[in-house]
């Protein structure tokens, strides 16, 4: 195994490991937080960043091929759809929940 291939494997393992660590943090946040919007924030981080890191590591492992192109398409569609879906779910929660104001904090603007 050459030195450049070792570097490629090292970066791939680093990307996949950091993605897995973010997934663990996401799972902890989804089960730990009590308010819906906080849970959604934790889940949205896992959907976008952690999955992108894992797929980036897999792209490094497979090299340039059709599989890499498919991974890029998956990342592209996730980066488009996940934030939009999270925003719509959060907007639905805010408009339908009557008790949402007890979870929010108002900050005064000082001039």
Global pTM reads: 0.76
* Dihedral sign (CA 15, 18, 24, 26): negative
Of the pLDDT bands very low, low, confident and very high (cuts 50, 70, 90), residue 20 is: very high
Give tens-digit pLDDT for 70-102: 989 998 998 888 888 888 888 887 788 777 666
Domain limits of the chain?
8-98
């Amino acid at each position: 195994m050459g030195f450049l291939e070792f570097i490629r494997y090292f970066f791939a393992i680093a990307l996949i490991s950091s993605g897995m660590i973010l997934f663990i943090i996401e799972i902890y946040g989804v089960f730990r937080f009590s308010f819906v919007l906080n849970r959604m924030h934790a889940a949205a981080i896992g959907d976008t960043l952690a999955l992108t890191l894992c797929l980036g590591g897999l792209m490094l492992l497979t090299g340039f091929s059709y599989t890499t192109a498919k991974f890029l398409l998956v990342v592209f569609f996730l980066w488009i759809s996940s934030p939009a879906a999270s925003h719509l779910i959060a907007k639905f929660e805010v408009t339908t929940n009557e008790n949402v104001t007890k979870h929010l904090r108002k900050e005064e603007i000082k001039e």
